[in-house]
Amino acid sequence: MDRSPAQNWETQLRKGVLEMAILFAMRDRDRFAIEFVDTLRRAAGLDVPEGTLYPLLIRLVKEGWAQTYWSAASATDTPRKYYRITDEGRRMLVEMWTRWSRLAQSMQELGEAPE
């Protein structure tokens, strides 16, 4: 199905904010990979294909913004790999959010300015 240029633009925009969205998703509690897919779809309407998610998660770990550990909810459950935001990740998230807010505000002012 053909996508309109506006849809393509929105896709690129959403891809650009994925790292910030994943860090936000980890802010309150540690999560495993499939939970990111669910949370981001439900809370932010962001569709994150697994092909995009895993390289991104690995990058966050390599950057030192997240760390991982294996844990099972109970003794009978299969262990899962959880992602936890680090202090450095939290600092980065604040930085990203500040820049994002500034950009969004500029765009809003530009859009509301009289022609």
SS3 state at 81:
strand
Of the pair 50, 95, the CB lying nearest another protein is at: 50
Rounded-to-integer distance, Cα 93 and Cα 115, Å: 35
Give the interface segment with another protein, choosing from 21-29, 31-39, 91-99, 101-109 (CB under 8 A): 31-39
Residue 95 as a binder of another protein (CB under 8 A): the answer is: no
The binder of another protein chosen from 3, 27, 41, 81 (CB under 8 A): 81
Interior/surface letters 47-62, b for 16+ CB within 10 angstroms, e for the rest:
ebeeeebeebbeebee
Of the pair 55, 64, the CB lying nearest another protein is at: 55
Residue 14 as a binder of another protein (CB under 8 A): the answer is: no
Q: Which of 55, 59, 45 is nearest to 11 (CA)?
A: 45
Q: Both tokens of residue 67? A: 């760390």
Where along the sequence are the contacts to another protein (CB under 8 A)? 32-34, 49-51, 54-55, 58, 61, 68, 78, 80-81
